[in-house]
Amino acid sequence: MNAALPIIALAVVVALGLGLRARSGHDMDMEQWSVGKRGFGTLLVFLLMAGEIYTTFTFLGGSGWAYGKGGPTYYILCYLTLIYVISYWILPPAWRFAKERNLFSQPDYFAARYDSRSLGILVALVGIVALVPYMVLQLKGLGIIVATASYGAISPTLAIWIGAVVLTVYVMVSGVRGSAWTAVLKDFMILFVVIFLGIYLPYHYYGGIGAMFTAIDGAKPGFLALPDRGQSATWFASTTLLTALGGWMFPHIFASIYTASDARTFRRNAVFLPLYQLMLLFVFFAGFAAVLQVPGLTGPDVDLSLFKIALQTFPPWFVGIIGATGVLTALVPGSMILIAGSTLIAQNLYRPLARNATDATTGRLAKGIAPLLALACVGFTLYGGETIVQLLLIGYAVVTQLFPAFIFSLMPNNPLTRAGAMAGILAGVAAVAVTVVGGYTLAKLFPGLPGPVQDLNIGVVALALNLAVAFAVSLAGRGGQRTAIP
């Protein structure tokens, strides 16, 4: 047995221990399990939000994009920064509204704002569609991390099964409180590992960060810039905008709003969380360092670039530390996804149909759904093939369609009616589904458009359709009651 495997196993054991410790002294009712009794302070909310956004996609995908895409990679840095800036204004009023009404989930918020149980069910369905591919991404990343860091001692399939079992046990035992405390360990480890790799690898192989970029530009001219077509400046700007608006619309990220004890927590975090994005630069540096050192990776294999260069550079024990860090980047968001998904199904799909269901019954059902949801995600992970990439794109673009209804709900006089909000979401989701599944782009649909317009992210077009339909339906039903903030 190599030295990496015990270190990875130790990280899993420690995470489970933190989960058990986190639940000590707390009655795991629905409110405690799903939103931590709304008692988290600034630090825990900071770490929980960072833990949900810094996933295996950031750890593997960020370095993989730097390796495979070059210049367009920096959109990740931009949109994550904007997500946190936006939170300064939108999260405090959302928290106050949820606190007053004791809400548990994202669909609860929409149903209460628009006084519409049907809208809540629609938002729950949209959320589940978005969460499944997000969870699959974590499990796929987990399989890559464990299989590679263990030098093949554990296969990706076995790693995925082990990860799903650990996640399920972890979630059922500790709930969101365990996720928050594990995020503390994860963030310390990822800060150390990522900063070290981002500095050491460029200096080890190139003599410095500047020298690394000079060498890459000499070997691959234009690689570090945005291309004229495709992932051009237009694509960069529209994709950054779309993903920034959709960042808080994922159900598990939205639910983290409810965990805070104070609305001011979000404004404090909004000041410091953008600085946290500087860590991404070191993720990119590690990926760029691999461009000339482990050439030839294509397709999904670009996500292996970080571990490929680590395997040829470091001894097994340090590869184990990198692998343990990667496991935690899957465990924290994965646990939040399971909690959010289970809560959506129990609270927002089952409970509206079972009017007499109590909080205790709903809570037990949510915990019982967690292993079934994990099993479904394992099935998609093992047998979904390349379609998972399409599902992930649909998931992010779909969930952004909730943003117009959300942002207008914060206005003193909401211009959207409940029918308008529902119609807009349905139109946007339908547009995303048709274009992504069909492989359509603006260039294919409208070849006569100017080049920069053709490069617009198709999700922006779906969002524009969403707004147009929402306002049209709302104006048509002008005689109906509009939704105003109490």
Of 141, 169, 143, nearest to 13 by C-alpha is 169
Residue 1 has a pLDDT of 56
What pLDDT sits at residue 110?
95
Q: What is the mean pLDDT of the chain?
A: 82
Which helix (H) or strand (E) covers residue 296, if one does? none
Class of residue 228 by CB neighbours under 10 A (exposed 0-12, middle 13-18, buried 19+): exposed
Lowest mean pLDDT across 170-179, 239-248, 344-353: 170-179
Tell me the three state secondary structure of residue 484. Answer: strand
Residue 454 has pLDDT above 50, yes or no: yes
314 band by pLDDT with thresholds 50, 70 and 90? very high
C-alpha–C-alpha distance, residues 307 and 222, integer Å: 25
Please give the structure tokens belonging to residue 177. Answer: 């409180």
DSSP letter for 260, please: B
Q: Taking residues 380-389, what's their average pLDDT?
A: 62
Over range 57-68, report the average pLDDT: 82
Which token pair is 419?
């029918």
pLDDT surpasses 80 at 102: yes
Asked if residue 300 has pLDDT above 50, the reply is yes
How far is it, in rounded angstroms, from Cα 357 to Cα 352? 9
Residue 14's pLDDT band (cuts 50, 70, 90): confident
Residue 25 has pLDDT above 70, yes or no: no
Query: Does the pLDDT value for residue 343 go beyond 90?
Result: no
Q: What is the CA radius of gyration of the chain?
A: 22
Does residue 26 carry a pLDDT above 80?
no
| Angle separating helix axes 117-149 and 156-206, nearest 10 degrees | 70
pLDDT band (50, 70, 90) for residue 341:
confident
Lowest mean pLDDT of 89-93, 195-199, 444-448, name the range: 444-448
| Contact between residue 326 and residue 61 where contact means Cβ atoms under 8 Å apart | no
The pLDDT confidence band at residue 389, using thresholds 50, 70 and 90, is very low
Alpha-carbon torsion (383, 389, 394, 400), positive or negative:
positive
121 Cβ contact partners less than 8 Å away, ≥ 6 residues apart: 107, 348, 349, 352
pLDDT at position 363: 74
Measured CA to CA, the distance from residue 122 to residue 51 in angstroms comes to 27
Express as a percent the part of the chain with pLDDT over 70: 86
Kindly state the DSSP code that residue 420 receives in the 8-state scheme: H
pLDDT recorded at residue 51: 53
What is the average pLDDT across 375-385? 79
Maximum average pLDDT range among 39-43, 68-72, 165-169, 382-386: 68-72
Specify the residue for token string 């009017």. 355
Q: What is the 3-state secondary structure (H, E, C) of 375-436?
A: HHHHHHHHHCCCHHHHHHHHHHHHHHHHHHHHHHHCCCECCCCHHHHHHHHHHHHHHHHHHH
Mean pLDDT computed over 215-227? 94
Q: How far apart are the C-alpha atoms of 210 and 206, rounded to whole Å? A: 9
Evaluate if residue 220 carries a pLDDT over 90: yes
Residue 430 CA to residue 419 CA, distance in Å, equals: 16
Checking if the pLDDT of 485 tops 50, the result is no
Q: How far apart are CA 100 and CA 93, in angstroms?
A: 11
The pLDDT tens digits of the residues spanning 464-483 come to 999 999 999 999 986 544 44
pLDDT number for residue 54:
65
Where b means 16+ CB within 10 Å and e means fewer, 319-348 reads bbbbbbbbbbbbbbbbbbbbbbbbbbbbbb
- Closest Cα partner for 352 from 119, 152, 36, 83? 119
Residue whose structure tokens are 């500095």: 199
Burial of 275 (0-12, 13-18, 19+ CB in 10 A): exposed
At 486 the pLDDT is 47
The CA-atom distances, in angstroms, between 215 and each of 27, 211, 212, 286, 317 are 58, 6, 5, 15, 30
> For 131-135, 222-226, 241-245, 438-442, which range has the lowest pLDDT when averaged over its residues?
438-442
Mean pLDDT, residues 216-235 taken together: 91
Check pLDDT > 60 for residue 39: no
Length of the chain: 486
Does 50 have pLDDT greater than 50? yes
Residue type at 381 in one-letter notation = T
Contact 76, 62 (CB under 8 A): yes
pLDDT in tens, 233-275: 999 999 899 888 988 898 888 877 777 778 788 888 888 778 7
Confidence of residue 216 (pLDDT cuts 50, 70, 90): very high
Contact at 8 Å (CB) between 282 and 194? yes
* Statement: residue 387 has pLDDT above 50: no
Neighbouring C-beta atoms of residue 360, cutoff 10 Å: 10
Who contacts 214 (Cβ-Cβ below 8 Å, separation ≥6)?
A: none
The pLDDT, as a whole number, for residue 61 is: 78
C-alpha span between 203 and 212 (Å, rounded) = 8
Q: What is the pLDDT of residue 271?
A: 81
What average pLDDT does this structure show over 107-133?
A: 91
Tell me what pLDDT residue 261 has.
75
Indicate the pLDDT class of residue 174, thresholds 50, 70 and 90.
low
Q: Give the amino acid at 157.
A: T
